[in-house]
Amino acid sequence: MSKINQWQQTEINITKNEDGSLILQNKIPLAECPDNICCWLHKNAESVPNKKYFQERDAEGIWKGLTHAEALAQVNRISNRLISMEMDTTRPVAILSENCINFALTQMAVMQIGLAVTPISFAYSAGSQTGGHIKHILDVSKASALIMSDADLHMPKFNQWDLGDLQLFAFSNSQKHSGVQDFENLFAVETELSAEAQLRFKAVNPETLAKVQFTSGSTNLPKGVKVTHSMMTSNQVGIGQMWPFLTEDEVIIDWLPWNHTFGGNFVFNMMLMCGGSFYIDNGNPTPLGLQKTIENIKDISPTIYFSVPRGYTSLYAKMQEDEELKQAFFKNLKFIFTAAAALDQATFSGLKAMSREVLGEEIPFFAGWGTTETAPDATLVYWPMEDARVIGLPIPGVEIKMTPDPSGKTELRVKGACITNGYFNNPEATTKAFDETGYYKTQDGGKFLDQQNPEAGLLFDGRTSEDFKLNTGTWVFNSGLRNSINALGQPSMLEVVVAAPNKAFLAAMVFPNIPILRKQFEQASTANTDNNDFLQCSEVIEFFRHVFQQHNSTHKGSSTRFERFTLLREPPRIDKNETTDKGYINQMAVLSQRAEIVESLYAETLAQEVFLVENL
């Protein structure tokens, strides 16, 4: 029997404007929202005090953590200490850490007393040679304090710069570094909010700044999005109205980074609102991190699973050969949620078929769409969907304006309770971000699945800023091409970048998944230990050539057909904005940073690393 027995009707209001744009609104009005997002923490500590809240593996691999009541007590201790430190209320508190319980406690402690938190991507330190993104974020946010995880890991970056009056704390190894205090110094004795902390808690209003959350950036450095308490609370309330089946019994195991809006707002705040149990996954869907995720899923059979398409593609491939993983994944599952990009239909259908094998019925798939600026959910699927491309319809409190774009696409613009009012210390970017009627310009394209039946939902139609023209003037719609190649090539490829503006034909730059390819072509792998040599093997080249040939067999036009491709030896670089911490590839940044490779794809004389597709 289905674990979901309450479904909302998909009913929306549609208004057509004189300029041809459409306004979409949910027919259900937004319900009342708390002023302070941490009201939910206090509620849960009363209603489910002994229920497990945050759990993580300790050094021996044992799950340890806090109940809801214990979490509130620790959060209050940090809030009291911050009050006694007389922190500058105009300056955020920065956190640089992988997801962990200390991160969660600090974030809630800061926000509940009206201070703002700036979560910094752990990858900007651990995966970066220079740490330049961190310096940029500290400069823009003017943070008053920074709480980091391992001082040994992060301090070599900070020692490069003059940090001014920035106060430093670390979860571990603080004693080895001058000027770094131990995290334990942030805990006061009292587990109840002090009188002054109580006043600060009650003074938080819907427009109080809760976070300065930095976007992943494009070819430019990230911008700090101002995220208020009402943005996050209204978002969760609107989602809850569409998903009335969420309960305090939810159990999740999740890896999505908390500096990012999907993990840090959508998932983190959902468990905060409903009072569920949050097991922190110390893995991720990369070739190196996937095994940890698999072990964690086997330990903790979740009731809900959140991930990005690449995560599901990787898990689906593993579940085809690992029965224990498949059983553990589906055992208690209510639904699967995907966002950040379109999931390929093959993985979507395959996972549904697996759920039928394990449970005797299909698990519902849900999806959503939004940005950091929408905190993050603007549209949501809340009905049984059959097409993996559907991103839903607006939630209560959100208006979607479908605005014609010069490319011929329709841009999705948004207004409502969960939408930011701009960027921190960046008035120029703020002005550019909104149209003349106050809608945030997402630069994301969207269209109806069925023009005659709008309530069937919207489809994501790619980034309008990533589309380009060939030198013939023909538009190239980037996301559709990438989705096609990814569906044919994964899991043997990580991503494809489509080249190039103002050229005569399309070419492709492929980020190969080398560990998977080495398993796929074991003989060639044994004979070629060097990755560069391995990627030149005829078996590997012919595999990718066939991927592009398959695509071209159903895409005949000059703006959809690939003529050449290359396999990139160097993985995407976070220092160059080529990838986000979630693994999303920034198409424009890759083309800009690897201009020489782009030129080689179009040279009259074919370079050794450039291959013709040679259509079937």
Distance CA 331, CA 333 (A): 6
Residue 151 lies in a domain: no
pLDDT, tens digit (0-9, with 9 covering 90-100), for 481-500: 998 998 899 889 989 999 99
Query: Any idea which of 72-76, 236-240, 590-594 has the lowest mean pLDDT?
Result: 590-594
pLDDT at residue 220, rounded to an integer? 65
pLDDT at residue 73, rounded to an integer? 98
Q: Which residues of 111-137 are buried (b: 16+ CB within 10 A; e: fewer)?
A: bbbbbbbbbbbbbbbbebeebebbbbb
Of the pLDDT bands very low, low, confident and very high (cuts 50, 70, 90), residue 480 is confident
Residue 489 lies in a domain: yes
pLDDT at residue 616, rounded to an integer? 65
340 pLDDT higher than 80: no
CA distances from 377 to 280, 347, 381, 386, 573 (A): 22, 23, 11, 21, 28
pLDDT at residue 419, rounded to an integer? 98
Residue 109 and residue 82 in contact, taking contact as beta carbons nearer than 8 Å: yes
Q: CB neighbours of 138 closer than 8 A, spacing ≥ 6? A: 94, 146, 163, 166
- Collapse the DSSP code of 499 into the 3-class scheme (helix H, G, I; strand E, B; otherwise coil) and give the result: strand
pLDDT at residue 366, rounded to an integer? 95
Residue 373 lies in a domain: no
388 pLDDT higher than 90: no
CATH number at residue 555: 3.30.300.30
Distance CA 173, CA 611 (A): 50
Residue 44 lies in a domain: no
Distance CA 191, CA 80 (A): 9
Distance CA 180, CA 167 (A): 8
Phi, psi for 13 (deg, rounded to 5) = -95, 135
24 pLDDT higher than 90: yes
CA distances from 575 to 7, 155, 226, 396 (A): 44, 17, 24, 38
Please calculate the CA angle 164-143-419 and round it to the nearest 5 degrees: 155
Question: What's the DSSP call for residue 565?
Answer: E
Distance CA 251, CA 277 (A): 5
What number of helices (H) and strands (E) belong to the chain? 22, 28
The pTM of the whole model exceeds 0.95: no
Phi, psi for 470 (deg, rounded to 5) = -75, 170
pLDDT at residue 130, rounded to an integer? 84
270 pLDDT higher than 70: yes
Quick count: other Cβ atoms within 10 Å of Cβ 350?
17
Average pLDDT, the chain: 93
Query: Any idea which of 317-326, 519-528, 575-584 has the lowest mean pLDDT?
Result: 575-584
Hey, what's the torsion of the CAs at 12, 17, 19, 23, to 10 degrees?
Answer: -30
Residue 345 lies in a domain: no
> Over 298-353, what HEC string results?
HHCCCCEEEECHHHHHHHHHHHCCCHHHHHHHHCCCCEEEECCCCCCHHHHHHHHH
pLDDT, tens digit (0-9, with 9 covering 90-100), for 537-587: 999 999 999 999 999 999 989 899 999 999 999 989 887 888 876 667 888
pLDDT at residue 217, rounded to an integer? 57
pLDDT at residue 582, rounded to an integer? 61
pLDDT at residue 128, rounded to an integer? 82
Residue 598 lies in a domain: yes
Distance CA 107, CA 71 (A): 12
The more confident residue out of 535 and 388 is 535
Domain residue limits at 590: 468-612
| Residue range 591-615: mean pLDDT, rounded | 93
What's the number of domains the chain is made of? 1
Distance CA 99, CA 232 (A): 19
Task: Identify which of 44, 497, 59, 528 has the alpha carbon closest to the alpha carbon of residue 269.
Answer: 44
pLDDT at residue 436, rounded to an integer? 95
Residue 476 lies in a domain: yes
DSSP strand pairing (390-394 vs 398-404):
unpaired
Percent of the chain whose predicted confidence (pLDDT) is above 90: 80
Residue 495 lies in a domain: yes
pLDDT at residue 603, rounded to an integer? 94
Distance CA 575, CA 498 (A): 21
Range ranked top by mean pLDDT from 354-358, 387-391, 589-593: 354-358
Q: Which residues pair with 414 in a beta bridge?
A: 400, 440
pLDDT, tens digit (0-9, with 9 covering 90-100), for 137-176: 999 999 999 999 999 999 999 999 999 999 999 999 999 9
Write down how long the chain is: 616
Distance CA 547, CA 279 (A): 38
- Where are the strands (E) in 68-114, listed by range? 93-96
> Angle between the 68-84 and 39-47 helix axes, to the nearest 10 degrees?
140
Tokens of 137: 């974020």
pLDDT at residue 406, rounded to an integer? 80
pLDDT, tens digit (0-9, with 9 covering 90-100), for 98-137: 999 999 999 999 999 999 999 999 988 988 878 889 999 9
